[in-house]
Amino acid sequence: MTTTIAAGKVVSARYTLHNTAGQVLESASADEPLIYLHGHENIVPGLERQLAGLEVGQSVKAQVPAAEAYGERAEVEPQRVPRDSFPADMPIEPGFGFAVEGEDGEALPLWIVGVDGDQVVVDVNHPLAGEDLHFDVEILAIRDATAEELAHGHPHGPTGAEGHHH
């Protein structure tokens, strides 16, 4: 029986991601593939939906609109926050995402978009918000997730037996 991509499968894939302008934003080769657990929001929803049902060796060009990727861009000005208000062990670099607690205790995601002297510039928009994403994907491997992977909601390396970084 052929294995196809479905919830609870760990998928290895080679891919290139470019934006509508044709600029390559991310890629992963067969030597260091993307490895994700299907059905656990490890990847953007629009891509996950289009990979479902594929088999090893299949390729797909997946067009993912911003709304099914990192969301539309909110028209909110980035904010400047003093650097010393961040935890000392937090990496202060553009693209780093973190969450703060909102008024009702909800998690509000924020991204660092720049550093200006002792001020850190943070934005409510993911760096790729508002971008339609274009993925070229080739499926390299599909296997069942281990019980531990399912409990954690993410894969533990190509075989599931790899060491843990958390």
Whichever of 37 and 66 has its CB closer to Zn ion, that residue is 37
Tell me which of 152, 157, 158, 160 binds Zn ion, using CB under 5 A: 152
3-state secondary structure of 36: strand
Nearest to 128 by CA among 50, 79, 65: 65
Shortest Cβ 153–Zn ion spacing (Å): 8
40 lies in the binding site for Zn ion (CB under 5 A): no
User: Nearest-CB residue to Zn ion?
Assistant: 152
Q: What DSSP string runs through 2-26?
A: -----TTEEEEEEEEEE-TT--EEE
Whichever of 130 and 157 has its CB closer to Zn ion, that residue is 157
134 lies in the binding site for Zn ion (CB under 5 A): no
Nearest to 126 by CA among 100, 85, 81, 94: 94
> What residues from 53 to 112 belong to the interface with Zn ion (CB under 5 A)?
none
Q: Is the dihedral of CA 121, 24, 38, 11 positive or negative?
A: negative
- State the residues that interact with Zn ion by CB under 5 A: 152
